[in-house]
Each structure stands twice: as C-alpha cells, then as structure tokens.
Amino acid sequence: MTNCNRFTCLRCSDCCYFSEIREMPILLPHEVYYYKILAKHMGVKLEFNRLESGLYKWVIRGYCPFYDSSTRSCRIHGEKPLACRMFPLLLDISENKLMVSSLCSWVKRCLERVKSTSNLESAALVFPGEYEALLELLTVLYGGESVIAVAIRDSNIDSLLKAISSECTVIKTTKSSVVEDLYLILLSNCTSDFVEKTIDPNSLEFLIEEKLARE
Ligand code: SF4
Ligand code: SF4
C-alpha cells in the first residue's frame, strides 16, 4: 500500500521516458554545458533547444540517455538536473505557478494528498527534497545577485573554494560521480572577473553568469 503522507518515489521510471515535447525537462544554461561534459564522457548524445527565456528544452525521445534500463535507475542520480530533482513538482515560469505533475505514479495514487498542497508550506511538507531543489532553482532564477556557475576539474578543490569564498558566496558545490575531479560550483555576490582570476585556466571547463528571467 502506498504511503500518501509524504512523497516517496515508487521507482516506476515513468518520469525518465518521454513521448511528448511538453513533458521534456527544462534546463538552466549551465546545466546544458555541464551535462554535455558528462555525456561526452559517457558516450551519449544530448539534444537541446534554446527557448526565448534563455532556458533550454532537453529533447529526449523515449528513455533518457542517462537512464540505465538494466538497473532501472538514473546513471547520474547524484548530479541530475534540477528539473529531475524537483519532479513531480513543476514550475511554470511564464505564469509563476507551482504545479504537481499528474504523470507521476505516486501522484496518481495519492491525488487527495496532493490536492491538500495548496500553498508552498504544505508542498514543502509533502515534497521536502523536491521543494529544496525548487528553492535552488528559484535562487538561480530570481536571486537578488546574479549567479555564476563554474565547472572545474581540480583535485585540490578545498584550497580553491577557500580562495573563491574570500569574495563570493558559495551557494552549492557538486562533485561529479561520473567524471573524475569534476566539480560544479554555484556562486553569488561576486564578479566573474574575480572568479576567472582565481581559477587556474587549465582546470576551468566553463564559467557562465546566469541571466534569465531577471533580465
Ligand atoms: S537525468 Fe536521470 S532522473 Fe532525469 S530523466 Fe534522465 S535518467 Fe531520469
Ligand atoms: S514517475 Fe514519480 S514515482 Fe515514478 S519514478 Fe518518477 S518520481 Fe518516482
């Protein structure tokens, strides 16, 4: 019997299979760059369409290229896109509206519980992990300061983070489980000039200043 009190993924994999474009994930620009690095390393092909907002529609036909059918799991689970981490929560940026996907198997089984999530507070109770990912997305989209995303390949991350954090706020650091010594770092409250000067150019994969819905 399904526990409808709090969202628990049933691992049905339905959200990793895409047949319609409207269901496909929307990614931030730095995510597109980042997943291209992982894809190259893993020998898979990715396709993206740039949207007017500056965000990207990830075009996936059938199962996601990162989906492992033998284990029925995501091969990049620890570093999957925010859209996947948030699911079944969906953010309609044009309408500024939070929704819950009716395609999710847990949602289908627990509709009454989902209907009770009429505000952000109740959504945070029913979908705690997914809500956290939503907050991260909102920080990048609407945070007061522009967010800088940096990907580096560096085995000495601690000293680099120490140098960067002398001027920047480190929002998040993610270590890749796929590519050795690859880190994705989200920063705010500093300039890309400072970050560029602080990082060894040989270890820099990309540096992007996210400027999206705030423009
Ligand atoms: S990245 Fe992972 S969770 Fe997201 S659609 Fe692909 S396999 Fe599924
Ligand atoms: S559709 Fe829902 S229950 Fe199924 S794997 Fe995705 S998040 Fe989990």
104 CA to centre of ligand 2 in angstroms = 5
Same structural domain for residues 20 and 104?
Answer: yes
Which among 106, 141, 176 is the end of a domain?
Answer: 141
Average pLDDT over residues 176-200: 95
Distance of alpha carbon 6 from alpha carbon 3, whole angstroms: 7
- Give yes or no for residue 118 having a pLDDT over 90: no
Same structural domain for residues 19 and 119?
Answer: yes
- Give yes or no for residue 83 having a pLDDT over 70: yes
Domain membership of residue 81 (yes or no) is yes
Q: Does the bond joining 88 to the residue before it have cis omega, within 30 degrees of 0?
A: yes
Domain membership of residue 72 (yes or no) is yes
CB 91 near ligand 2, within 6 Å: no
**Per-residue DSSP letters for 107-166?**
HHHTHHHHHT--SHHHHHHHSHHHHHHHHHHHHHHH-SSPEEEEEEE-S-HHHHHHHHTT
- Give yes or no for residue 5 having a pLDDT over 90: yes
10 CA to centre of ligand 2 in angstroms = 6
Same structural domain for residues 126 and 151?
Answer: no
Same structural domain for residues 187 and 90?
Answer: no
69 CA to centre of ligand 2 in angstroms = 15
Average pLDDT, rounded, for the chain: 93
Predicted pLDDT at 213: 53
Domain membership of residue 3 (yes or no) is no
67 CA to centre of ligand 1 in angstroms = 6
Reported pTM:
0.93
Same structural domain for residues 105 and 21?
Answer: yes
Look at the chain and report how many structural domains it folds into: 2
Same structural domain for residues 23 and 100?
Answer: yes
- Give yes or no for residue 214 having a pLDDT over 60: no
Domain membership of residue 154 (yes or no) is yes
CB 12 near ligand 2, within 6 Å: yes
pLDDT in tens, 52-74: 889 999 999 999 999 999 999 99
| Domain coverage including residue 133 | 14-141
Same structural domain for residues 59 and 116?
Answer: yes
- Give yes or no for residue 96 having a pLDDT over 90: no
CATH for 178: 3.30.70.1150
Which among 141, 160, 191 is the end of a domain?
Answer: 141
- Give yes or no for residue 212 having a pLDDT over 70: no
Domain membership of residue 8 (yes or no) is no
Helix (H) or strand (E) segment spanning residue 82: helix 82-86
- Among 11, 14, 17, 72, name the best residue to mutate to test ligand 2's pocket (greatest count of ligand atoms within 8 A of Cβ): 14
- Give yes or no for residue 103 having a pLDDT over 70: yes
Domain membership of residue 39 (yes or no) is yes
